[in-house]
Each structure stands twice: as C-alpha cells, then as structure tokens.
Amino acid sequence: MQEVLKNRENVSALADGQLHGEEFARAAEWAARDADGQMTWQAYHGVGDLLRTGEWGASSRDAAFMARFKVRLQQEPLPSRQFESPELIAIQVIDAPARAQKSFKNEAANDATYRWKRLAGFASVLAVVAVGFLASGMWDGQRGSPQLAQAAEATIQPNQAASGPPGDGPNLMIRNSELDALLAAHRQFGGTTAFQVPTGFLRNATFEGGGR
C-alpha cells in the first residue's frame, strides 16, 4: 500500500515537473505501463480537462472510443484474399514516388498528443494484419492476374514459397527464443547505420523490446 501511495505521489510530482533523472524514468514507466499508473495519470488529465473546459471526462472519451473501436474491429468480417500479391507490391515499391514527400510540415503527424501512444499498439497490429492479407497471395496458388505474370521472373516459385498446410496465411509471429536471438543478431551486426555510434548502440542496449 505504501508503495502504491509512493508511486501515486511520484506521478503527481511527475505531472508537476518535479522529477528528474532516474526518478523521472521510473515514474514515467509506472505511469505508462502499470494499470494503476495509467489510471492515476488519466485522472490528473481529467482534472485538467475540468479546469480548462468545465467539462469532466474529456480525456476519458479517448478510452471510450478505443473500447468501441475494439468491439467494432472484432466484429469486422475478415477480408477475402483479393489483394495484390507481394510480388506486385515489390514492383510498386521500386517504381512508386515517395508519399513521404507530400508534407513539408516538420512536426510528426502524431507527435502532438499522447493519444497516439495508446493507439500505437493497435496500429502495429493493424499494420501486421493488413500487410499479412496483402501478402497472402504468396501462399495462394490460385492467384494469377496478367499483372503478376509481368513480375513472375522476380518471383519465388509457388512450390518454393508454399508453406504450411493448404489455406494457411501468414501469421502474426509469437515471440520466441529463436526469433529473439535473430533480432539480437540483427542489432549486433545489422545495425550498420550512421546512427549506430550517436544513438544506435544506446538505443539497442536500452531497449528490451517488451520484456522477457
């Protein structure tokens, strides 16, 4: 109980901008990861909403939205495999101009609010699901549009690419020790970038990737 009160006190101090260094990091992590910490943090924002707008619960609308979003997402029918295959995606990738050029605003689109952080997990899952279905043609031997014929030369033969029982599609991978070992190997030797010395090494040594 003492620890809970202490943690809440720390979040209070955090909101007041009074923490620094390790205390700051610990309080930030508790506020971000612990259910009680998140509730405490949101409660403070609720108070802020009330003071600013005279309305209680402006922030809690986010949570309500996410709850409705989850329910709707679960109810959505799974799309059939009518998307372009990864072969075509790869060709488009090489030829397509970057969409990244369209905006010259320096700010990240989602940098302005904390809301995106709560959506980040969902976005990652959605991205995985979406790309998974986009790529599902790789395991669908029935595919074969004229567009794909053009890309056939650069394509793994269907009998080579086939994997798992018929009808199986790509899955969201479950973390396992072998995958962890390969990710560690990528960080060890694959971090071959200009960022490696300024921040890459620190990033890789700091980030554990969701705990073990």
Partner 1 sequence: MPSPFMARRTCARVLQAGALVFSMWGGSVAAQTGVEAPAPIATNGVKTTERSASEWLLRMHEASRQRNYMGTFVVQAGGHLSSARIWHACDGVQQMERVESLSGTPRSTFRRNDEVTTFLPASRVAILEKRESLGLFPHVLQAANSSIDKLYRVQTSGHERVAGLEADVVRLRPQDNLRFGYRIWSERKTGLVVKLQTLDADGRVLEQAAFSELQLDAPVSMANLNHLMGKTEGYRVEKPGLVKTTSADEGWALKKEVPGFKSMSCFKRARVGTSVTAQDATFQWIFSDGLASVSLFVDAYDANRHASPGYRVMGATHTLTQRMGNWWLTAVGEVPLHTLSAFALALERKD
> What residues from 71 to 90 belong to the interface with partner 1 (CB under 8 A)?
86-87, 89-90
Regarding 144 and contact with partner 1 (CB under 8 A), the answer is no
Pick one of 64, 67, 73, 202: the residue that binds partner 1 (CB under 8 A): 202
Half-sphere exposure of 137 (CA within 13 A, CB side): 18
Residues 6+ apart with CB under 8 A from 81: 133, 136, 137, 140, 143, 169
Half-sphere exposure of 182 (CA within 13 A, CB side): 4
Regarding 150 and contact with partner 1 (CB under 8 A), the answer is no
Binding piece for partner 1, criterion CB under 8 A, among 41-49, 61-69, 74-82, 140-148: 41-49
Length of the chain in terms of residues written: 212
Pick one of 3, 163, 166, 167: the residue that binds partner 1 (CB under 8 A): 163
Pick one of 3, 72, 100, 166: the residue that binds partner 1 (CB under 8 A): 100
Regarding 3 and contact with partner 1 (CB under 8 A), the answer is no
Q: Identify whether the C-beta of residue 170 lies closer than 8 Å to the C-beta of residue 132.
A: yes
| Cβ closest to partner 1, residue 64 vs residue 158 | 158
Apex 172 CA angle, 94 and 169, nearest 5: 75
Regarding 197 and contact with partner 1 (CB under 8 A), the answer is yes
